[in-house]
């Protein structure tokens, strides 16, 4: 029973939702399960002029992937550098510690001031969201590379570049990968939030905000479910890569 709880619980939750929705009997507060399912069943259908679920999901994914890749391209090299060069780490670390706790959403006003409403500011917010987890994990991963692994390569005559490519990066990869996963999660949350800004005209964040203005609660919930599922799928993919390629993780001896 305890083991099967994770299968039963969602059913119970959905059942309760349906019961409450019937009792409340107000689609503007809590729509019934089937209204939400009806929206989900037709992902290609245009929703009152704001585009379909799929179109908006595609826009959000496109934005998050772009911003995330941008963040990773800056954070990973910088993290590796900071992990290896002590004075650089000492110099940058205080700034990092101050900036890191600022939630990506708090950067929105600044993003608007710098990049105006549109793709640029959304990208900036995603970048910020992905950047810090990836950076922090990259630094940490590189710093914790086993000294024996480094020295083995040095005795074999490794150049600094070889040491980096053949030892430091592969050894730090599991930690960097964790950073990528966390970074992607934050980036995904940030994109939805950023899309809720006035002036945006596409994306899942825009869709659910737009649906709110029309009182389409079933669309809001359907959109939220899609947001959750996409986040889950991408994390699943990243985990699969980890399982296949970084299978040695935790087995170092």
Partner 1 sequence: MTLKIDHVSREFVSNAGELVTALDNIELVIEDQEFICFLGPSGCGKTTLLRIIAGLDTATSGRVVHDDHEICAPDPKMAMIFQEYSLYPWRNVLENVAFGLELRGIDRDTRIKEAERYLDLVGLEDFSRSFPYELSGGMRQRVAVARALAVDPAVLLMDEPFGALDAQSRNMMQKELLDIWNKTKKTIVFVTHSVDEAVFLADRIVVFTPRPGRIRENIPLNLPRPRERTSAEFASIRRHVLDLIDETSKSGKV
**Which of residues 13 and 165 has its CB atom nearest to partner 1 in the complex?**
165
Q: Rule CB under 8 A: is residue 161 a binding residue for partner 1?
A: no
* Contact predicate 113/166, CB 8 Å: no
Q: Rule CB under 8 A: is residue 248 a binding residue for partner 1?
A: yes
Choose the stretch contacting partner 1; rule: CB under 8 A; options: 17-25, 78-86, 118-126, 169-177: 169-177
Q: Which of 32, 143, 154, 225 binds partner 1 (CB under 8 A)?
A: 154
Nearest-approach distance from CB 24 to partner 1, in angstroms = 55
Those residues with Cβ within 8 angstroms of residue 152's Cβ, 6 or more apart along the chain or in another chain: none
Q: Rule CB under 8 A: is residue 151 a binding residue for partner 1?
A: yes
**Residue 237 and residue 46: Cα distance in Å, rounded?**
29
Q: Rule CB under 8 A: is residue 160 a binding residue for partner 1?
A: no
**Which of residues 232 and 241 has its CB atom nearest to partner 1 in the complex?**
241
Choose the stretch contacting partner 1; rule: CB under 8 A; options: 12-20, 77-85, 159-167, 192-200: 159-167
Binding residues among 228-247 for partner 1 as defined by CB under 8 A:
246-247
Choose the stretch contacting partner 1; rule: CB under 8 A; options: 4-12, 84-92, 119-127, 144-152: 144-152
Q: Which of 77, 103, 170, 228 binds partner 1 (CB under 8 A)?
A: 170
Residues that bind partner 1 (CB under 8 A): 146, 148-149, 151-158, 162, 166-167, 170-171, 173, 246-248, 251-253
């Amino acid at each position: 029973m305890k083991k099967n709880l994770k299968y039963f619980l969602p059913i119970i939750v959905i059942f309760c939702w349906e019961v409450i929705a019937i009792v409340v009997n107000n689609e503007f507060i809590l729509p019934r399960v089937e209204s939400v399912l009806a929206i989900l069943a037709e992902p290609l259908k245009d929703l009152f002029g704001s585009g379909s679920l799929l179109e908006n999901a595609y826009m959000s994914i496109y934005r998050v992937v772009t911003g995330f890749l941008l963040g990773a391209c800056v954070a990973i090299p910088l993290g590796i550098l900071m992990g290896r060069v002590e004075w650089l780490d000492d110099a940058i670390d205080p700034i990092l510690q101050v900036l890191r706790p600022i939630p990506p959403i708090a950067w929105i006003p600044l993003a608007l001031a710098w990049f105006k409403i549109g793709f640029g500011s959304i990208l900036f917010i995603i970048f910020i969201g992905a950047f810090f987890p990836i950076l922090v994990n990259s630094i940490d991963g590189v710093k914790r590379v086993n000294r024996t692994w480094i020295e083995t390569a040095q005795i074999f005559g490794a150049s600094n570049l070889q040491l980096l490519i053949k030892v430091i990066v592969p050894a730090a990869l599991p930690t960097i990968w964790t950073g990528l996963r966390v970074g992607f999660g934050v980036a995904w949350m940030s994109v939805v939030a950023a899309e809720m800004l006035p002036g945006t005209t596409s994306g899942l964040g825009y869709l659910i905000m737009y649906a709110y203005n029309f009182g389409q609660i079933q669309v809001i919930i359907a959109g939220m479910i899609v947001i959750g599922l996409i986040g889950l799928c991408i994390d699943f993919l990243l985990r699969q890569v980890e399982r296949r390629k970084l299978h040695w993780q935790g087995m170092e001896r």
